[in-house]
Amino acid sequence: MPNTRKGKPSSKRKAKRRFSGNRFTSKIEGPAPAEAACLDEEPAESIIEFDTGDLDASTLKLVHLESDSSDDLNSDVESSGVDDIRRIIDVAPLQEFILEAAVCRECKVGDLHLTETQRDGLASHVTLTCSECDQVYPSVLAKKSGKFFEMNRQAVMASRCIGKGKQGLTTFFSCMSMPKPMANAAYDGHRNALYEAAEVVVKQCMDKAASRLTDSDATASNFKDIAVTVDGTWMRRGFSSMYGIVFVIAWETGQVVDFCTLSRYCHTCKLWAAKRRSGQVSEQVYSEWKVSHQPACDITSH
């Protein structure tokens, strides 16, 4: 007779739920292996379809990683013949390879020894010296564009893109047991050149984005009102950052049509304030300089 008393749990345990397969697994469409072997032509690649409607973010990331894994493996083989790809090469195996595979072009018997004679940042000036006839073959292991090496400028751009700067680039090369990348003056020169180039590109992109929203015959007296959103951010978290930026984004296209940088710090003002406190300049001289410095002051927000 079943137990009908309330409050007392039943002694009969529920059966465990058996695993019946993952309902999120992919569905592979394509010919079966036996059918594909019978075809004269090569079987087409299997089409993997995923029902992403019920998947969470973590599962979607795994799906994309699994689908792109084969392309990543093949890309290393396909890109081995490209000339403009840079590599980090260990010098010792390179020297051994040269000794085993190369001989002097003049005497045909001497071994070639690799020596670094000069460095311009990441660009190495090397020579191959023959052990028999002392013939020297100089070369530079970097492409030069005008007065600078492309490798140095691209390294500066990479450090700026990841937000690390000169110190972060130096730390990376130190951990890789490599020489320092470049001097501070050279780094600043590359940074200023990249800044000027970025200003030109940014202006062209914003002008193009604005031209898509306005009429071709729009003038100062005949302009078109557009809907925009304004968003801004600071360089650091919290309210202690000295630099910020504000973007104006077009509502229709989602493209940036204007921006403005904000700063609460000026290095020149800091130097002159220190001179005033130390008594190097009088209050009158400081006041006159302050008025003349206003148009060039970096402080845009108080």
Q: Over the stretch 101-139, which tens digit does the pLDDT of each residue have?
A: 888 988 888 899 988 888 888 888 999 999 889 899 998
pLDDT tens digits, one per residue of 22-78: 555 544 444 444 444 444 444 444 334 445 455 555 555 555 555 554 444 444 445
Among residues 265, 261, 235, which one has the least CA distance to residue 248?
Answer: 261
Buried-exposed string 179-195: b where 16+ CB fall within 10 A, e elsewhere = eebbeeebbebbbeeee
**For position 8, what pLDDT does the model report?**
56
Handedness of CA 153, 158, 161, 166 (dihedral sign): negative
Instruction: Tell whether pTM > 0.75.
Output: no
Q: Counting beta carbons within 10 angstroms of the beta carbon of residue 26, is it exposed (0 to 12), middle (13 to 18) or buried (19 or more)?
A: middle
Counting other chains too, the contacts that 37-42 makes at CB distance below 8 Å and 24 or more residues apart are none
Tokens of 61: 């990331």
pLDDT-derived band of residue 193, with 50, 70 and 90 as boundaries? very high
For residue 177 the two structure tokens come to: 């047991």
What is the pLDDT at residue 211? Answer: 83
